[in-house]
Amino acid sequence: MLPGSIQISGETLSGAEIRDICESLRENSVRLLSLRGCQLSERDFGHVCRGVAESRSLAQLNLNLGIVSNINRVKQLAEALKTNRSVQSLFLHGSPLTDAGLALLNPALSIHPSLVALDLGDCMLGDEGINLICGLLPPDGAKSGLKELTLSANPGITSKGWGRLAIAVAHSSQLRVLNLDYNPLGDQVAGMLAVAVASSRTLEVLDLEGTGLTNQSAQTLLDMVENYPTALRTLILAENNISPELQQQISDLLSEGEEEEEMEAHEVTAREKNPWICQNNSSSQMVLMTSGLGDSLLAETEM
Protein backbone atom coordinates (compact mmCIF):
# COMPACT_ATOMS: atom_id res chain seq x y z
CA MET A 1 0.00 0.00 0.00
CA LEU A 2 1.29 3.46 -0.90
CA PRO A 3 1.84 5.88 1.99
CA GLY A 4 -1.17 8.11 2.70
CA SER A 5 -1.89 11.14 4.82
CA ILE A 6 -3.27 12.08 8.22
CA GLN A 7 -4.69 15.61 8.35
CA ILE A 8 -6.40 16.92 11.47
CA SER A 9 -7.11 20.57 12.29
CA GLY A 10 -8.09 22.23 15.56
CA GLU A 11 -9.02 19.06 17.44
CA THR A 12 -8.20 17.86 20.94
CA LEU A 13 -6.51 14.52 20.36
CA SER A 14 -7.02 11.59 22.71
CA GLY A 15 -4.36 9.12 23.76
CA ALA A 16 -5.98 6.46 21.57
CA GLU A 17 -5.84 8.72 18.51
CA ILE A 18 -2.19 9.46 19.18
CA ARG A 19 -1.43 5.74 19.46
CA ASP A 20 -3.04 5.14 16.07
CA ILE A 21 -1.02 7.96 14.52
CA CYS A 22 2.22 6.64 15.98
CA GLU A 23 1.48 3.11 14.82
CA SER A 24 0.92 4.37 11.28
CA LEU A 25 4.20 6.28 11.42
CA ARG A 26 6.10 3.21 12.56
CA GLU A 27 4.47 1.11 9.85
CA ASN A 28 5.64 3.64 7.23
CA SER A 29 2.10 4.12 5.94
CA VAL A 30 2.09 7.95 6.27
CA ARG A 31 3.60 10.43 3.82
CA LEU A 32 1.87 13.56 5.15
CA LEU A 33 1.13 14.21 8.83
CA SER A 34 -0.72 17.47 9.60
CA LEU A 35 -1.86 18.27 13.16
CA ARG A 36 -2.28 22.02 12.69
CA GLY A 37 -3.84 23.78 15.67
CA CYS A 38 -4.52 20.54 17.55
CA GLN A 39 -4.35 20.10 21.33
CA LEU A 40 -2.32 17.21 22.73
CA SER A 41 -0.61 16.51 26.01
CA GLU A 42 3.14 16.80 26.58
CA ARG A 43 3.35 13.02 26.82
CA ASP A 44 1.47 12.50 23.57
CA PHE A 45 3.60 15.09 21.79
CA GLY A 46 6.63 13.06 22.83
CA HIS A 47 5.02 9.92 21.41
CA VAL A 48 4.43 11.67 18.07
CA CYS A 49 8.05 12.81 17.96
CA ARG A 50 9.26 9.27 18.54
CA GLY A 51 6.99 8.11 15.73
CA VAL A 52 8.45 10.77 13.44
CA ALA A 53 11.95 9.64 14.35
CA GLU A 54 11.15 6.04 13.39
CA SER A 55 9.23 6.77 10.19
CA ARG A 56 10.92 6.16 6.85
CA SER A 57 7.95 7.29 4.72
CA LEU A 58 7.04 10.67 6.25
CA ALA A 59 7.77 13.46 3.74
CA GLN A 60 5.70 16.38 5.06
CA LEU A 61 5.21 17.30 8.72
CA ASN A 62 2.76 20.10 9.58
CA LEU A 63 2.80 21.29 13.21
CA ASN A 64 1.45 24.77 12.47
CA LEU A 65 -0.50 27.03 14.80
CA GLY A 66 1.07 26.49 18.18
CA ILE A 67 1.70 22.75 18.35
CA VAL A 68 5.36 23.34 19.21
CA SER A 69 4.39 25.56 22.11
CA ASN A 70 7.38 25.40 24.49
CA ILE A 71 11.10 24.75 24.67
CA ASN A 72 10.63 21.15 25.82
CA ARG A 73 8.66 20.40 22.66
CA VAL A 74 11.32 22.08 20.54
CA LYS A 75 13.92 19.79 22.08
CA GLN A 76 11.82 16.68 21.42
CA LEU A 77 11.21 17.69 17.81
CA ALA A 78 14.93 18.37 17.33
CA GLU A 79 15.79 14.90 18.62
CA ALA A 80 13.24 13.34 16.27
CA LEU A 81 14.65 15.19 13.25
CA LYS A 82 18.18 14.11 14.11
CA THR A 83 17.07 10.49 13.62
CA ASN A 84 14.53 10.93 10.84
CA ARG A 85 15.85 10.82 7.27
CA SER A 86 12.69 11.20 5.19
CA VAL A 87 11.04 14.56 6.05
CA GLN A 88 11.28 16.95 3.11
CA SER A 89 8.90 19.73 4.25
CA LEU A 90 8.52 21.04 7.80
CA PHE A 91 5.77 23.51 8.75
CA LEU A 92 6.02 25.35 12.08
CA HIS A 93 4.00 28.45 11.15
CA GLY A 94 2.56 30.20 14.20
CA SER A 95 4.86 28.51 16.73
CA PRO A 96 6.42 30.72 19.45
CA LEU A 97 9.93 29.47 18.69
CA THR A 98 11.87 32.72 19.17
CA ASP A 99 15.57 32.79 18.34
CA ALA A 100 16.32 30.60 21.37
CA GLY A 101 14.04 27.83 20.14
CA LEU A 102 15.42 27.98 16.62
CA ALA A 103 18.93 27.72 18.06
CA LEU A 104 17.92 24.41 19.64
CA LEU A 105 16.30 23.18 16.45
CA ASN A 106 18.95 24.40 14.03
CA PRO A 107 21.55 21.62 14.50
CA ALA A 108 18.95 19.04 13.45
CA LEU A 109 17.80 21.15 10.50
CA SER A 110 21.32 21.79 9.25
CA ILE A 111 22.27 18.10 9.09
CA HIS A 112 18.95 16.68 7.88
CA PRO A 113 19.61 14.89 4.56
CA SER A 114 16.19 15.44 2.94
CA LEU A 115 14.76 18.74 4.22
CA VAL A 116 14.16 21.20 1.35
CA ALA A 117 11.10 23.23 2.47
CA LEU A 118 10.76 25.10 5.78
CA ASP A 119 7.95 27.33 7.08
CA LEU A 120 8.94 29.53 10.04
CA GLY A 121 6.28 32.17 9.50
CA ASP A 122 4.99 33.97 12.60
CA CYS A 123 7.57 32.28 14.83
CA MET A 124 8.72 35.41 16.72
CA LEU A 125 12.16 35.36 15.13
CA GLY A 126 14.79 38.10 15.21
CA ASP A 127 18.20 38.77 13.69
CA GLU A 128 19.89 35.90 15.53
CA GLY A 129 17.34 33.55 13.99
CA ILE A 130 18.11 34.94 10.55
CA ASN A 131 21.80 34.21 11.05
CA LEU A 132 20.90 30.56 11.66
CA ILE A 133 18.56 30.41 8.69
CA CYS A 134 21.27 31.75 6.38
CA GLY A 135 23.26 28.64 7.20
CA LEU A 136 20.47 26.60 5.59
CA LEU A 137 21.08 28.39 2.27
CA PRO A 138 24.51 27.12 1.22
CA PRO A 139 26.31 29.03 -1.54
CA ASP A 140 27.20 26.03 -3.68
CA GLY A 141 25.90 22.61 -4.63
CA ALA A 142 28.35 20.74 -2.46
CA LYS A 143 25.84 20.73 0.41
CA SER A 144 22.09 20.26 0.27
CA GLY A 145 19.98 23.26 1.28
CA LEU A 146 16.48 24.71 1.29
CA LYS A 147 14.53 25.15 -1.93
CA GLU A 148 11.54 26.82 -0.29
CA LEU A 149 11.61 29.17 2.72
CA THR A 150 8.73 30.98 4.43
CA LEU A 151 9.45 33.76 6.94
CA SER A 152 6.09 35.57 6.87
CA ALA A 153 5.06 37.82 9.76
CA ASN A 154 8.28 37.98 11.77
CA PRO A 155 8.35 41.72 12.59
CA GLY A 156 11.22 41.36 15.08
CA ILE A 157 13.73 40.98 12.26
CA THR A 158 15.50 44.28 11.52
CA SER A 159 16.79 45.66 8.23
CA LYS A 160 20.23 44.36 9.20
CA GLY A 161 18.85 40.83 9.47
CA TRP A 162 17.00 41.11 6.16
CA GLY A 163 20.18 42.43 4.55
CA ARG A 164 22.05 39.35 5.70
CA LEU A 165 19.29 37.13 4.30
CA ALA A 166 19.46 38.99 0.97
CA ILE A 167 23.17 38.18 0.70
CA ALA A 168 22.48 34.50 1.42
CA VAL A 169 19.69 34.42 -1.18
CA ALA A 170 21.95 36.02 -3.79
CA HIS A 171 24.51 33.26 -3.36
CA SER A 172 22.20 30.31 -2.69
CA SER A 173 22.52 27.57 -5.29
CA GLN A 174 19.13 26.00 -4.61
CA LEU A 175 16.49 28.39 -3.20
CA ARG A 176 13.47 28.63 -5.54
CA VAL A 177 10.70 30.10 -3.36
CA LEU A 178 10.98 32.87 -0.74
CA ASN A 179 7.88 34.07 1.16
CA LEU A 180 8.42 37.28 3.15
CA ASP A 181 4.83 38.53 3.19
CA TYR A 182 3.51 40.65 6.06
CA ASN A 183 6.89 41.78 7.33
CA PRO A 184 7.58 45.54 7.69
CA LEU A 185 10.34 45.51 5.07
CA GLY A 186 9.98 48.93 3.44
CA ASP A 187 11.77 50.29 0.39
CA GLN A 188 15.29 49.93 1.77
CA VAL A 189 15.00 46.17 2.28
CA ALA A 190 13.19 45.79 -1.03
CA GLY A 191 16.21 47.35 -2.74
CA MET A 192 18.47 44.75 -1.11
CA LEU A 193 16.15 41.98 -2.23
CA ALA A 194 16.13 43.31 -5.80
CA VAL A 195 19.92 42.98 -5.91
CA ALA A 196 19.63 39.46 -4.47
CA VAL A 197 17.08 38.43 -7.11
CA ALA A 198 19.24 39.87 -9.87
CA SER A 199 22.19 37.84 -8.59
CA SER A 200 20.32 34.59 -7.93
CA ARG A 201 20.30 31.90 -10.59
CA THR A 202 17.55 29.87 -8.94
CA LEU A 203 14.93 32.09 -7.22
CA GLU A 204 11.62 31.73 -9.08
CA VAL A 205 9.00 33.02 -6.63
CA LEU A 206 9.22 36.03 -4.29
CA ASP A 207 6.22 36.97 -2.11
CA LEU A 208 6.34 40.56 -0.82
CA GLU A 209 2.63 40.98 -0.11
CA GLY A 210 1.84 43.52 2.61
CA THR A 211 5.45 44.53 3.29
CA GLY A 212 5.17 48.32 3.28
CA LEU A 213 6.51 48.93 -0.22
CA THR A 214 5.91 52.02 -2.37
CA ASN A 215 6.36 52.94 -6.02
CA GLN A 216 10.05 53.45 -5.25
CA SER A 217 10.43 49.74 -4.57
CA ALA A 218 8.31 48.82 -7.55
CA GLN A 219 10.47 50.91 -9.88
CA THR A 220 13.61 49.24 -8.55
CA LEU A 221 12.06 45.80 -9.04
CA LEU A 222 10.85 46.79 -12.51
CA ASP A 223 14.37 47.85 -13.50
CA MET A 224 15.71 44.57 -12.16
CA VAL A 225 13.23 42.45 -14.12
CA GLU A 226 13.75 44.54 -17.27
CA ASN A 227 17.54 44.60 -17.28
CA TYR A 228 18.73 41.35 -15.69
CA PRO A 229 18.19 37.75 -16.92
CA THR A 230 16.81 36.49 -13.61
CA ALA A 231 15.14 33.15 -12.91
CA LEU A 232 12.15 34.96 -11.38
CA ARG A 233 8.74 33.72 -12.50
CA THR A 234 6.38 35.18 -9.89
CA LEU A 235 6.60 38.41 -7.89
CA ILE A 236 3.72 39.09 -5.47
CA LEU A 237 3.24 42.76 -4.57
CA ALA A 238 -0.39 42.88 -3.38
CA GLU A 239 -1.40 45.04 -0.39
CA ASN A 240 1.41 47.56 -0.89
CA ASN A 241 1.24 51.24 -1.79
CA ILE A 242 2.20 50.53 -5.40
CA SER A 243 0.33 51.83 -8.41
CA PRO A 244 -1.59 49.30 -10.54
CA GLU A 245 0.33 50.56 -13.58
CA LEU A 246 3.71 49.60 -12.14
CA GLN A 247 2.42 46.24 -10.97
CA GLN A 248 1.07 45.57 -14.46
CA GLN A 249 4.37 46.53 -16.08
CA ILE A 250 6.24 44.07 -13.90
CA SER A 251 3.65 41.37 -14.59
CA ASP A 252 3.88 41.96 -18.33
CA LEU A 253 7.67 41.66 -18.30
CA LEU A 254 7.49 38.38 -16.39
CA SER A 255 4.91 37.09 -18.87
CA GLU A 256 7.10 38.06 -21.82
CA GLY A 257 9.97 36.12 -20.30
CA GLU A 258 7.76 33.08 -19.90
CA GLU A 259 6.70 33.21 -23.54
CA GLU A 260 10.32 33.43 -24.68
CA GLU A 261 11.21 30.48 -22.46
CA GLU A 262 8.37 28.40 -23.93
CA MET A 263 9.52 29.21 -27.46
CA GLU A 264 13.08 28.22 -26.57
CA ALA A 265 11.84 24.97 -25.04
CA HIS A 266 9.93 24.13 -28.23
CA GLU A 267 13.05 24.81 -30.31
CA VAL A 268 15.15 22.54 -28.09
CA THR A 269 12.54 19.79 -28.35
CA ALA A 270 12.45 20.13 -32.12
CA ARG A 271 16.23 19.88 -32.35
CA GLU A 272 16.24 16.79 -30.14
CA LYS A 273 13.63 15.13 -32.38
CA ASN A 274 15.45 16.12 -35.57
CA PRO A 275 19.20 16.54 -35.09
CA TRP A 276 19.56 17.70 -38.72
CA ILE A 277 17.83 21.03 -37.99
CA CYS A 278 20.46 23.78 -38.11
CA GLN A 279 20.64 26.20 -35.20
CA ASN A 280 20.46 29.85 -36.22
CA ASN A 281 23.36 31.69 -34.63
CA SER A 282 21.31 34.87 -34.54
CA SER A 283 18.69 33.35 -32.26
CA SER A 284 18.34 34.88 -28.83
CA GLN A 285 19.97 33.34 -25.78
CA MET A 286 17.85 31.07 -23.66
CA VAL A 287 15.80 33.07 -21.16
CA LEU A 288 15.19 31.54 -17.76
CA MET A 289 11.59 30.80 -16.80
CA THR A 290 9.84 33.83 -15.40
CA SER A 291 6.23 33.10 -14.42
CA GLY A 292 4.36 30.39 -12.52
CA LEU A 293 6.04 27.76 -10.33
CA GLY A 294 5.33 24.10 -10.93
CA ASP A 295 4.33 21.70 -8.17
CA SER A 296 5.34 23.36 -4.94
CA LEU A 297 6.74 21.32 -2.09
CA LEU A 298 4.67 23.50 0.21
CA ALA A 299 1.45 23.03 -1.70
CA GLU A 300 0.15 19.73 -0.39
CA THR A 301 -0.96 21.04 2.96
CA GLU A 302 -2.47 24.18 4.45
CA MET A 303 -0.73 26.54 6.86
DSSP 143: S
pTM (predicted TM-score): 0.85
**pLDDT-above-70 percentage for the chain:** 83
For 199, list phi and psi in degrees, rounded to 5.
-85, -30
pLDDT at 224 over 70: yes
List the CATH code of the domain at 1-89+98-116. 3.80.10.10
Region for residue 157 given its phi and psi (left: phi exceeds 0; alpha: psi -120 to 50; beta: otherwise): beta
Is residue 171 packed enough to be buried (19+ CB in 10 Å), middle (13-18) or exposed (0-12)? middle
pLDDT at 293 over 90: no
In the CATH scheme, what is the homologous superfamily, with its name and number, of domain 125-137+144-261? Ribonuclease Inhibitor (3.80.10.10)
Mean of pLDDT values over 112-127 = 97
Per-residue model confidence (pLDDT) at position 273: 46
Give SS3 for 195.
helix
In angstroms, the CA 253 to CA 231 distance is 13
Mean of pLDDT values over 115-120 = 98
Length of the chain: 303
In angstroms, the CA 54 to CA 22 distance is 9
pLDDT digits (tens, 9 = 90+) for 68-113: 999 999 999 999 999 999 999 999 999 999 999 999 999 999 999 9
Angle, to 10 degrees, between the axis of helix 159-171 and the axis of helix 127-134? 10
Q: Where are the domains of the chain?
A: 1-89+98-116, 125-137+144-261
**For residues 143 and 116, is the Cβ–Cβ distance under 8 A?**
no
Give SS3 for 303.
coil
1-89+98-116 and 125-137+144-261 agree in CATH topology:
yes
- Identify the band that residue 235 occupies on the pLDDT scale cut at 50, 70 and 90: very high
Per-residue model confidence (pLDDT) at position 142: 61
- Identify the band that residue 255 occupies on the pLDDT scale cut at 50, 70 and 90: confident
In angstroms, the CA 240 to CA 294 distance is 26
pLDDT at 165 over 60: yes
Distance spanning both ends of the chain, measured CA to CA: 27
Give SS3 for 235.
strand
Q: Which residues pair with 118 in a beta bridge?
A: 90, 149
**For residues 185 and 214, is the Cβ–Cβ distance under 8 A?**
no
**Alpha helical stretches, state H, 116-206:** 127-134, 159-171, 186-199
pLDDT at 233 over 50: yes
Per-residue model confidence (pLDDT) at position 144: 79
For 209, list phi and psi in degrees, rounded to 5.
-65, 135
Question: For residue 102, how many other CB atoms are within 10 A of its CB?
Answer: 24
Is residue 144 packed enough to be buried (19+ CB in 10 Å), middle (13-18) or exposed (0-12)? middle
